[in-house]
A and B are shown apart, each in its own frame.
Chain A
Amino acid sequence: GAVVSQHPSRVICKSGTSVKIECRSLDFQATTMFWYRQFPKQSLMLMATSNEGSKATYEQGVEKDKFLINHASLTLSTLTVTSAHPEDSSFYICSARGGVLYYGYTFGSGTRLTVV
């Protein structure tokens, strides 16, 4: 079945630095990728939608200059948290949709970001 690989699974960074999270579709071409943020014991909050080769569409309230999303190929999307602060600490999950809606959405395994 469709597999999405997300790395790293955990990352600790110092306040003020930047962190990049990668999301790769391993056996299908992901025309659209989604980035979510999940706080403890809460639901997934969509941050942005990216289509290969075009600029990401950010949800209201999400700072596009802080959360940089790049979807340069059909198999790779990256989320860069710039100038990270402790309040950016969270669980980030990517999701990919291939060209056929039938298969639904495949999720990565998530990245726990801790900013100290």
Chain B
Amino acid sequence: AQTVTQSQPEMSVQEAETVTLSCTYDTSESNYYLFWYKQPPSRQMILVIRQEAYKQQNATENRFSVNFQKAAKSFSLKISDSQLGDTAMYFCAFMTPSNFGNEKLTFGTGTRLTIIP
């Protein structure tokens, strides 16, 4: 079974600073997808960034980037120039595709990030 570990339950950082959230996972699969989701106080889950395991290049979406280390099974999220709106719970998630239409996400326990004005 796949597991996802987020070792930082809470983090806080000053506005405009850079912060890195860590995530490790365990799997025997070679083909998989990794995601970071954001859950603000509204509790709406929002996709932040996605990485395909077969791609060596790290994914980037504006201020959000990942450091994907496949051999180490590590998938950290870096938020640059942090903004107050980045305050949220962040979940790392893992998925292995299959041909049976029931690919499911396995979530980590989350990191609560607070951006301090």
**Which of B15-23, B69-77, B96-104 is the interface stretch?**
B96-104
A93 and B45 in contact, given A43-B91, A104-B35 (Cβ under 8 angstroms): yes
Chain A residues with CB below 8 A from B37, complex form: 107
**What total count of A-B pairs have CB within 8 Å?**
52
Assembled-state Cα–Cα distance A106/B50 (Å): 13
**Chain A contact residues: helix, strand, loop or mixed:** strand
| B13 interface contact, C-beta 8 A | no
**Chain B contact residues: helix, strand, loop or mixed:** loop
Within 8 A of A (CB), among B40-58: 42-47, 50
Residues of B within 8 A of A (CB): 33, 35, 37, 42-47, 50, 91, 97, 101-105, 107-110, 112
16 pairs across A/B with beta carbons < 8 Å?
A: A32-B103, A34-B104, A34-B105, A38-B43, A41-B112, A43-B107, A44-B45, A44-B91, A44-B107, A93-B43, A93-B45, A95-B105, A105-B35, A106-B47, A109-B43, A109-B44
